[in-house]
């Protein structure tokens, strides 16, 4: 049994008497430890699919299974999320920002603090543990938000265009960094992007969502080049 199984998943938004088909009949398996790049044009339903996996939206039909759990999920629990914006709390230090999910979930603080220290090291901003977000560049803030997504040791990390707001050069560097972090952490990562090059570069599997009335998912496995 695969770690994640999506079977015929559809989601329609209903708003103002209108219906918007966001995700249509998506079927896909994800194995544990894979870095799956979810790629497709704007509006094809990538974010919606991520929100369904995160338990932030319910889907209308189909089955979503993560580990031994079948949807509907409770949000947050065993999932880490990284968004386009780092969304750090500006009045908290970087270390205290990274600790936030552990605090919210009520995990033992001493152990979590130790783990946060390891993670801040892993993402390469250990010198900034006691700094405030405004003292960090965009790329460094995103490193902090990646560490925050790992602090409660979730099995699955969902990333919604995490480097989309960064300049092209920083983005390339962060893609390499993510590759390293992925290998070190051994986590299953679902990475949303609209850049096909980025998807093929990063993904051990690439899932393509297409736009249009009959939205379909295609996917293929990529042989990872050694960096």
Contact residues toward ligand ADP (CB under 6 A) are 13-15, 20, 22, 40, 42-48, 57-58
> Please, which residue, 26 or 95, has the CB nearer to ligand ADP?
26
CA distance 140 to 23: 33
Calculate the CA 67 to chain-centre distance. 17
> Please, which residue, 8 or 121, has the CB nearer to ligand ADP?
8
Q: Supply the minimum distance, in Å, between the C-beta of residue 14 and ligand ADP.
A: 4
Joined together, the tokens standing for residue 210 give 């297409």
Q: Supply the minimum distance, in Å, between the C-beta of residue 159 and ligand ADP.
A: 12
> Please, which residue, 46 or 187, has the CB nearer to ligand ADP?
46
Joined together, the tokens standing for residue 28 give 């896909």
**Sheet strand arrangement including 205-209:** 79-82, 156-160, 188-193, 35-39, 205-209, 217-221
Q: Supply the minimum distance, in Å, between the C-beta of residue 154 and ligand ADP.
A: 21
> Please, which residue, 51 or 171, has the CB nearer to ligand ADP?
51
61-66 vs 69-70, strand pairing mode:
antiparallel
Q: Supply the minimum distance, in Å, between the C-beta of residue 198 and ligand ADP.
A: 14
Calculate the CA 197 to chain-centre distance. 18
Burial class (CB in 10 A: 0-12, 13-18, 19+), 57: buried
Helix spans in the chain (H): 46-54, 94-104, 109-122, 138-150, 168-185, 196-202
> Please, which residue, 4 or 140, has the CB nearer to ligand ADP?
4
> Please, which residue, 15 or 91, has the CB nearer to ligand ADP?
15
Q: Supply the minimum distance, in Å, between the C-beta of residue 130 and ligand ADP.
A: 36
Q: Supply the minimum distance, in Å, between the C-beta of residue 181 and ligand ADP.
A: 23
Q: Of the candidates 82, 80, 86, which has an alpha carbon nearest to the alpha carbon of residue 159?
A: 82
């Amino acid at each position: 049994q695969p770690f994640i199984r999506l079977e015929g998943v559809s989601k329609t938004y209903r708003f103002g008497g209108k219906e918007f088909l966001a995700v249509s009949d998506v079927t896909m398996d994800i194995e544990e430890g894979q870095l799956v790049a979810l790629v497709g044009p704007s509006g094809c339903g990538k974010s919606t699919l991520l929100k369904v996996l995160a338990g932030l939206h319910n889907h209308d039909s189909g089955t979503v299974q993560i580990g031994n759990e079948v949807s509907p999920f409770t949000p947050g629990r065993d999932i880490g999320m990284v968004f386009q914006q780092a969304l750090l709390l500006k009045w908290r230090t970087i270390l205290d920002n990274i600790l936030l999910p552990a605090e919210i979930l009520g995990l033992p603080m001493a152990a979590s603090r130790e783990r946060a220290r390891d993670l801040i090291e892993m993402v390469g901003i250990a010198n900034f543990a006691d700094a405030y977000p405004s003292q960090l560049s965009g790329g460094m803030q995103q490193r902090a938000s990646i560490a925050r997504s790992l602090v409660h040791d979730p099995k699955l990390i969902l990333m919604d265009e995490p480097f989309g707001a960064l300049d092209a050069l920083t983005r390339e560097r962060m893609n390499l960094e993510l590759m390293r972090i992925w290998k070190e952490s051994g986590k299953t990562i679902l990475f949303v992007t609209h850049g096909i090059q980025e998807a093929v570069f990063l993904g051990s599997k690439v899932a393509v969502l297409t736009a249009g009335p009959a939205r379909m998912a295609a996917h293929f496995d990529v042989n990872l080049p050694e960096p």
